[in-house]
């Protein structure tokens, strides 16, 4: 594993939590999943138990087990394993943060509590501070996703002076379409050299222009290499080519959908690793959806294998 002091940057796959048809976590495929990300997609940083990983639909015990499995299977293969430890309960979030430190994770991230919500920047920072203090040696990232939390405190406002309150704060996972807020986060915090990780995959190119230093997303599970090519084109200032990659792949996949159910189905088709259905209240993708996606992927010559097993289709549908 990488040094825990290293900031997260570049592409980060928001990992899926594989499940069996009866809704139990399928730990047996995580080692294969690690190898697929590294060898097939060139992605060596992961974000575990976030939205894509259904972290808030798992019990604390399950979240601990999933985190342990990724850290164990990723040893000497992955560069960074960041664990999302946000919860409605401060005590549970602290327990998960401490556990992440104990198992050798490289960082932790936290969303705002979203039932009894913080009503101001100071209240939210007080919550985050208490979680970060449970793992004082780990880099701490705030996971900004207001569409799901309903917490509308602007990220730019939150970052103002945050390191004075949370010394381990190293960056932001910004999963919102408000590019003005994101741009202000970057512009007003350049001296701090925070990690600015963008989380809306279909808008990544725009975020790069605004100063994003990396990206965390579900599509990098199966679009890692394609997205890396876009990042390389952007670095070379070949903006026309970068835009072509963005348009041809991320925008295309946006028509299929980026929900957890869709992501599980697409990942099963592309990787051949059975990701299973999501956990209730989410519904599994329909067979009609899976068949449609399979046809579209084959038309793009996107699938890495030609003969899909019905079992794999069902597991991902």
94 domain-assigned: yes
Catalytic residue, chosen from 44, 73, 173, 284, is 173
310 domain-assigned: no
CA distance 239 to 110: 34
Q: In this structure, what CATH number is given to the domain that contains residue 126?
A: 3.20.20.70
Tell me, rounded to whole angstroms, the distance of Cα 135 from its chain centroid.
Answer: 20
pLDDT on residue 289: 87
For residue 203, give its domain range.
Answer: 10-239
Q: Is the peptide bond before 56 cis (omega within 30 degrees of 0)?
A: no
The better pLDDT of the pair 138, 289 is held by 138
141 domain-assigned: yes
Clarify whether 222 is annotated catalytic.
no
- pLDDT score of 3 more than 90: no
Annotated binding site for pyruvate: 52, 216
Annotated binding site: 52, 216
162 domain-assigned: yes
Clarify whether 143 is annotated catalytic.
yes
Question: Is the pTM higher than 0.85?
Answer: yes
Mutual orientation of helices 287-299 and 260-271 as an angle, nearest 10°?
Answer: 50
Catalytic residue, chosen from 33, 36, 141, 143, is 143
- Burial environment of residue 28 by CB neighbours within 10 A (0 to 12, 13 to 18, 19 or more): exposed
279 domain-assigned: no
Query: 104-133 as b/e, with b when 16 or more CB fall inside 10 Å?
Result: ebbbbbbbbbbeeebeebeebbebbbebbe
198 domain-assigned: yes
Report how many domains make up the chain.
1
Digit-coded pLDDT (tens) for 43-85: 999 999 999 999 999 999 999 999 999 999 999 999 999 999 9
CA distance 71 to 83: 9
284 domain-assigned: no
83 domain-assigned: yes
Digit-coded pLDDT (tens) for 105-126: 999 999 999 999 999 999 999 9
Question: CB count, 10 Å around CB of 287?
Answer: 12
């Amino acid at each position: 594993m990488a040094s825990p002091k290293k900031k997260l940057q570049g592409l980060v796959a928001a990992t899926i939590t594989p499940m069996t048809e009866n809704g139990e976590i399928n730990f047996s495929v995580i080692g294969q999943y690690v190898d697929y990300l590294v060898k097939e997609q060139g992605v060596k940083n992961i974000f575990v138990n976030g939205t894509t990983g259904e972290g808030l639909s798992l019990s604390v015990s399950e979240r601990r087990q999933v985190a342990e499995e990724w850290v164990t299977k990723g040893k000497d293969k992955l560069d960074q394993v960041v664990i999302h430890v946000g919860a409605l309960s401060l005590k549970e979030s602290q327990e998960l943060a401490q556990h992440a430190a104990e198992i050798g994770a490289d960082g932790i991230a936290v969303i705002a509590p979203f039932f009894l919500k913080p009503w101001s920047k100071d209240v939210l920072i007080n919550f985050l501070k208490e979680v970060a203090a449970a793992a004082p040696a780990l880099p701490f990232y705030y996971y900004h996703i207001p569409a799901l939390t309903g917490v509308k405190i602007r990220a730019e406002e939150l970052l103002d002076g945050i390191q004075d309150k949370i010394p381990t704060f190293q960056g932001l996972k910004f999963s919102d379409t408000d590019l003005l807020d994101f741009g202000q986060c970057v512009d007003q915090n350049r001296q701090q050299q925070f990690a600015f990780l963008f989380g809306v995959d279909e808008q990544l190119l725009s975020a790069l222009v605004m100063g994003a230093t990396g990206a965390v997303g579900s599509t990098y599970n199966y679009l890692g290499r394609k997205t890396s090519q876009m990042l390389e084109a952007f670095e070379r200032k070949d903006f026309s080519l970068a835009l072509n990659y963005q348009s041809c792949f991320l925008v295309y996949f946006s028509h299929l959908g980026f929900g957890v159910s869709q992501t599980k189905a697409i990942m099963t088709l592309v990787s051949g690793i059975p990701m299973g259905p999501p956990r209730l209240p989410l519904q599994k993708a329909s067979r009609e959806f899976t068949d449609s996606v399979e046809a579209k992927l084959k038309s793009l010559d996107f699938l890495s294998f030609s003969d899909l097993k019905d079992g794999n289709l069902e597991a991902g549908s």
